[in-house]
Amino acid sequence: MTLNDTLLADAKAVFTSTGDFAEAVTYHPRSFAGEVDRADRSINAVVVREQMAVVSQDGDTVIPVYQVHVANDATEGISSAELDLGGDAISFPPRDGKAAEQKTITQLLIQDPGLLVFECR
């Protein structure tokens, strides 16, 4: 097994394991007109919370920005091929103890064969 294979396997088994730093979240894929609707599904993700950001596009409104790490996988995470940056969303609690809220995936920050890192707002 090469290092590359090990890293790809660890992306699912270790880096996004709920036994370590990850948690279960819900992926809401956007369905574009004419396409087959894609169902929501539960996936594992590492969510970095409460990084407040000023949204200069909206008159300096302050809203929380989240960084979400998922496996680049169509079953256990989100594959880079299926991702739609025009409306795909992920549901997770904005703070520990609060109910899950749906947050739009606004940017793909990092991508490699093993992991995807998004910005969600």
Partner 1 sequence: MSVTAVRPVVERIAQELFARLRLLTAQYSVYSPVPEVIRPKRLDNWSPKNMQIVLTQEAPEINPELSCPGNPPSVARDVLFNIRCHIMPSERDPTPVDEYVNTLAADVVRVVCDAADWHTFGSLAINAEWQTQENIDADGSFDGINVPLLVTYRTDETNPFTVRG
Site for partner 1, rule CB under 8 A: 30, 32-33, 35, 52, 56-59, 61-64, 84-87, 89, 94, 101-104, 106-107, 119-121
| In the complex, least distance from residue 47 CB atom to partner 1, rounded to whole angstroms | 14
| In the complex, least distance from residue 10 CB atom to partner 1, rounded to whole angstroms | 28
Task: Say if CB 80 and CB 11 are below 8 A apart.
Answer: no
- If the CB atoms of residues 13 and 94 are measured against partner 1, the closer one turns out to be 94
| In the complex, least distance from residue 110 CB atom to partner 1, rounded to whole angstroms | 13
| Antiparallel, parallel or unpaired: β 115-120 and 61-71 | antiparallel
CA angle 63, 108, 64 (to 5 degrees): 10
C-alpha to C-alpha distance for 88 and 102, rounded to whole angstroms: 10
